[in-house]
Amino acid sequence: MKRLYLLRHAKAGFDLTGQSDAERVLTHSGKQDAVKLAYKIKGRNERIDLVCVSPAIRTRQTLDVLLEISGDCILSTEVVPALYQASENTALKVISDLGTPAKTVMLVGHNPSMTQLSNLLAADLRLDHLPTCGLVVIDFAVNHWHDITLGTGTVSWFDFPKNDYSIL
């Protein structure tokens, strides 16, 4: 079995003059939301073998908060340039190309690809919009990442910091 965590970065500020999109940083509330989610991950005793993160500052800051609070739940991290402004097909290729024996992988990325990817992979969840710092955890009955096919995943957990309770 493989477990995929799809995490949209926490809330980021708008571009400042001369600042590129990739340089956008988390807002104060975005950092607080990441803290809430990190404690939820830690509280559920989740174990994540590999986190693949977009190189954008806001995604790396989101991951930094997770590592600070629930770092004992995360074994390894890798910056994956293809996740920045990725289409859902590019994100699918990142998953398919995982050569790791890891059973659990998290992608930290951006919308619309995180929402679209959730909808493509999960048989039992349809989202209009994955909120900032929203997390969808999908299980697949496969032995290899390249064996994952569309619509075959089962959502085991969907949550976001402004949610009063976890769904599933």
> pLDDT tens-digit profile of 67-102?
999 888 999 999 999 999 999 999 999 999 998 899
Would 68 be classed as within a structural domain?
A: yes
Burial class (CB in 10 A: 0-12, 13-18, 19+), 113: buried
Would 131 be classed as within a structural domain?
A: yes
93: phi then psi, degrees, rounded to nearest 5: -65, -40
Containing domain of residue 152, as a range?
2-11+24-159
Query: For the residues of 35-62, what is the DSSP string, one character each?
Result: HHHHHHHHHTT--BSEEEE-SSHHHHHH
The enclosing domain of 40 has a CATH number of 3.40.50.1240
Per-residue pLDDT of 94-123, as tens digits, reads 999 998 899 999 999 999 999 999 999 999
Would 167 be classed as within a structural domain?
A: no
Would 19 be classed as within a structural domain?
A: no
Would 73 be classed as within a structural domain?
A: yes
Per-residue model confidence (pLDDT) at position 167: 53
Per-residue model confidence (pLDDT) at position 161: 80
pTM value > 0.85: yes
3-state helix, strand, coil in the chain (%, to 5): 35, 25, 40
Would 17 be classed as within a structural domain?
A: no
Per-residue pLDDT of 6-57, as tens digits, reads 999 999 988 667 778 888 899 999 999 999 999 999 999 999 999 999 999 9
Number of structural domains (the chain) is: 1
Consecutive H or E run containing 92: helix 88-96
Per-residue model confidence (pLDDT) at position 165: 59
Would 165 be classed as within a structural domain?
A: no
Per-residue model confidence (pLDDT) at position 15: 66
Per-residue model confidence (pLDDT) at position 148: 96
